[in-house]
Amino acid sequence: MDTKQQKLVQKVKKETEIKRPVFRNAVKAFFVGGTICLIGQIILEILMKTVGLEKELANAVMVTIMVFLGALLTCLGIYDKIGQFAGCGTIIPITGFANSMASAAIESKSEGVFLGIILNMFKLAGSVIVVGVLSAFIFGTLRYFIGI
């Protein structure tokens, strides 16, 4: 390719930029994400009103149930199909966190329990915990000393 052809490549590269269906994806994410949160809220209400748990405990149990559902759907091979449709609708809720751990663990099953499942579990989810703790440290320090 001479320089003229190289310039041509850059020109066609710009012309053929693939556009994503932003609005359509956002609507799908809205509905699926909203539904997951709705399910969580229903579980929360049942735990508080019917089972009679107090707020903090009910929340912890609700989160545990949602994590369980995320892991289960991942292991049944269903979560990735919903995820393809919903995008962030399934990535952002805590079920997405469970999915990232379960999927990494189950994928590495062929390497055995320790070198596979255990070692690889946090491959994708690790970033969430690191960023979380770092943010808490930075903002916590700011708030503690400067008292925002």
78-137 residues in contact with other proteins (CB under 8 A) are 79-80, 82-84, 86-110, 113, 117-118, 121, 123-125, 127-129, 131-133, 135-137
Decide: is 27 part of the binding site for other proteins (CB under 8 A).
yes
Encode 88-103: b = buried (16+ Cβ within 10 Å), e = exposed: bbbebbbbbbbbbbbb
Interaction between residue 10 and other proteins (CB under 8 A): yes
Regarding 58 and contact with other proteins (CB under 8 A), the answer is no
Which residue number, 52 or 124, has a Cβ lying nearer to other proteins? 124
Q: How many Å apart are CA 44 and CA 130, to the nearest integer?
A: 28
Site for other proteins contains 14 (CB under 8 A):
no
> How far is the CA of 85 from the CAs of 15, 36, 114, in angstroms?
27, 14, 33
Q: Is residue 141 at the binding interface for other proteins, with CB under 8 A as the rule?
A: yes
46 is an interface residue for other proteins by CB under 8 A: no
Whole-number Å distance between alpha carbons of 19 and 146: 45
Asked whether position 34 contacts other proteins by CB under 8 A, the answer is yes
- Taking the least distance from each CB to other proteins, the nearer of 52 and 144 is 144
For residues 95 and 83, the answer to whether their CB atoms sit within 8 Å is no
